[in-house]
Structure formats: C-alpha cells, structure tokens
Amino acid sequence: MPIFPFDRPRVFTLALLAALLLSACPIHQPEGPKRQGNQEALSAFGDKVIIHASTLAFENPSTRIPLTGSSPETQASFQRGLPPAMGSGMVLKPSAPGILSFWVLSDRGPNADGPSIQNTDSKLFPIQSYSPLIGTLTITGHEGALSDLHPLTMKDHPLKGLPHPEGSLGATHEVPLDDRLHRLPSDPDGIDPEAITFDGKDLWIAEEYGPALFRVDPNTGAVLQRLGPGQGLPEIYAHRRNNRGFEALAYDPDRKTLNAVLQSNMDEQAPFIRWLEWDPSKGLTREYAYPIAPNDYKKGHPGEAKLGDMTSLGQGQFVVIEEGKDPEGHDRHWLMLVDLKGASDIHGKDGLESLSHAPAASSAMAPLQPLTKLRLLDLDQAGWTLEKTEGLARIDEQSLALTNDNDFGMESRLADGEGKILKGKVHSCSLEGDEASHLALLTGKKCPKKAKGIALVPTSREAAEQVVWTLTFERPLKDYFKEPITP
C-alpha cells in the first residue's frame, strides 16, 4: 500500500522545594464519587474493558505550589497555591508486589496564553523559577500519593521551562512574559518535558522545545546525556512545528530501542507523523511514518491530528494516544495499536513531508509502507471527558494506565481596570506600550474596549484535577494484533 496519500484509517525557592519534597504527600479526593470507581467499556474489537478511575484533587496544602514572585493579584486568586501538574508523562516504576507506582513528569511549568506582541504569540509565566519535576505517583484504591519529587538538573543547575531565544535551535516563537505583562529573558537551556520512559537503569525524557531526548538519573533528576537535532538525532527534527516537538516516548525492551514521536506532522498537509527509533547502544537510527487519515479530523485537515503518549508492548508493538478535533469540532481521543513490522525506514528521506501532497511525486512515494495501526479503544465513548490525555503506561500484559495534564489548574482571562473578568479571547488582543515605564495597552479589532490587563484565574475544579484510569482488557494486549479490526 502506498505511503501517500494515507487513506487509513530552573530554580525553586527553598520553601517551594521543601514543600514539594515532602515524602508521600497524600492527595485527597474531592467529595462525591462522580469521577471515581469502576466502569465498563467495549474495545473496538467488541470485548470488555474494566476501567478503574481515581480522581486526584491535590487538596493537601503540602502538595500545592506557592506562587513565589508572582503579582499580588495572581497570589490573591490562588491563596492556596497551584495544584501540581504531574501528568505530562508516566511510566511504570518497579515496586514491591501489590504496590502500583509510576514515575511521573511535569511539563515546563505554570503558564497561560498571553496577548499578541507584534504578531507573535506570548506566554505568561507567573513562576519564572519553576523547574520541571520528576516524581513518584503511587495509587492505592481510589487515592494517590506523590513522593520523591526532584527538579531536573543539568551540570548541577536546575533547568527551567522558559522558551529558547528567538532564532536558536528549539525556539518556539513565543514571547515570555510575567503575570504583570513584563518581558522575561529567554533561556537557551529551557526544557518542556512531555514524556518519560525507563530502560531498566535510567529514565529517558522527551521534550518539545528541541526537540530533545534526555537520559536522567531516576534517583536525583540529574541529566546524564542530552540528544538533539544534529547532536545525536536526525537534523530534520529541528523543523518540527512550533510547540509540536516530541510528545510520546517508549522503550522497547525486546528491540532495546527508544521510540520517540513528534506530536504532529511537520508539514500541516502531510498525512503522516515522524516516528524515531533509536538504539542507544549501537547508535542506529530508523524512522517510520505514522499514518493520519485526514477525514478523521476537522475540515479533513491532517494538521489537526496529535499524538499524546505511548507505551511499549515489546517486539516493536505499541499502544499510542491519538487525538484532535473530529470533523464536527469535538475533542477525540483514541488508543491505537501500532506495529513496526513491515514499515519502511524513511530515515534520510527529508523531503517526504512536502512531497507527500504533491501529485507529481506520488510515484516516488508508492513503495513506502507506513506503520500499521488499529484502533483499540475510543476513550470518549468509554467516558473520558478531559482534553489533555498525556500520560500512558503499560502495567502488565492486559492493563494500561492513563492520565491527564491539568495545566496547574490555571488559565488566563481578559480583565478590566477593576479586575473584573471579561468575555473574549486573550490572543485577540495585542500588547503595546512603553516597556521601560511598565505602561501597557491592550488593543485590537476583536479586543474588548474595557480590556486593561490579563488575569490568571483558577480553572474549573474538574479541569484542575488529575485523573488516573487503569484499564484492564479481557485478553493480553498483544493478542489484538493477531486479528484485523472489523470496520
């Protein structure tokens, strides 16, 4: 089958660090069983899936993140601090029998959309000293506990999440601002972690900026090795779309390879996403095409498709989160089975993204085979209601764990001169003014006339929670590869 077109389907204050390193801080549940308990769903193969849901509300004060250095207005909106956000990635942690624990990961830190600045997007970072974290999440019944939280460090310096300088490798073309709308310095060592895996000795983290891979000491959070485009990884990944770097990562224990996948296609029209397989011991690199069916997405646009996370089943087989806006504009989240067997190695073929939608080049693409993928479970039909499905881990032969990114329970809203929240989108306003005098003005045709500033406010209680699902299938997950799915 031709590959084109696809029809197939930095630093913490001592107070903050002390708070976060409290061992086994309990995460209390919210009142009511609304999003907890057991439920059943059907896989795409028609057999039963038992779902055990735990809602982690982070009510214990010791788990909250103080808004050190933020504005008085932001601190007033979050008097208890921010809930942690440790759902960007997860992987099973070897533990004693009967204990279910995972290494978990935060992203670059609390941030929210800001106004446009000279036609460039901005992001508000209320805690510029935030260092991305790894930690342990232990699930007991419907309760969880965070422990062993460590900031990621490199050369004994905590890494931070501020964007890279404009024009440098890994730049996202975002202007970093504090919550007073003052510019912040960019950071050439900034990191935006999005996925985590374990090779039996060390942790590996995939991040979005570079994109890059980091080998990390699981006991300290120290970075032992960094790989980026042209620095151990193929140079082509430097051309990833903004904020669409590595999002998924898994270690295959049988092939002894790391597998990292971009969040989206590099060319918005290309009907595939690049998948990297890398052998740390031999340095061998292979790449594959993860196929996108454009008709599965809004306006038939393959650029709408995104991958969340993935987990390895061994022997080149994986479960992957595929998500995006469906043709009706609704959020869609699928678990997909993916097999590397038979897929063409596209490593070194750097022009495929642009060639893939050029009719004259279709004959050159014909011999190339994409990865095989089959739908395993429609998460939305199974009861998943959250937008950001970002952590996926294999528990055993028949079970998976799934979690979300709660974005620290914070969002940005337009506000008038008295702090009243206004209707309208933050990015519809442009920021103008005198940086030296700290005078700022929000303007724009679609910007409300009363808009005088940007307020950081709590999201809904539901959106601020971290939900963990464990999904148990009727048979081993690898068995599903033995039969085709019924259309």
pLDDT at position 35: 53
Among 268, 264, 231, residue whose Cα is nearest residue 247: 264
Whether omega for the bond prior to residue 5 falls within 30 degrees of 0, making it cis, is yes
Could you tell me if residue 233 is inside a domain? yes
Could you tell me if residue 7 is inside a domain? no
pLDDT at position 145: 84
Distant-in-sequence, close-in-space partners of 224: CB < 8 Å, separation ≥ 6: 202, 215, 216, 217
Q: Residue 370 corresponds to which tokens in the numbers above?
A: 């994409």
Could you tell me if residue 236 is inside a domain? yes
CA 149 – CA 382 distance, rounded (Å): 32
Measure the N-to-C terminal CA separation of the chain; round to a whole number of Å. Answer: 18
Which residues does the chain have with pLDDT short of 50?
1-34, 436-437, 485-487
User: Would you give the DSSP letter of residue 164?
Assistant: P
Could you tell me if residue 252 is inside a domain? yes
Region for 232 from its dihedrals, namely left if φ exceeds 0, alpha if ψ lies in -120 to 50, beta otherwise: left
CA 307 – CA 310 distance, rounded (Å): 8
Number of domains in the chain: 1
Could you tell me if residue 4 is inside a domain? no
CA 67 – CA 265 distance, rounded (Å): 36
Could you tell me if residue 392 is inside a domain? yes
Q: 291 lies in which domain range?
A: 14-482
Helices marked H in 10-153 — which ranges? Answer: 14-20, 72-77
* pTM confidence score: 0.90
pLDDT at position 59: 77
Whether omega for the bond prior to residue 211 falls within 30 degrees of 0, making it cis, is yes
Three-state DSSP at 432 gives strand
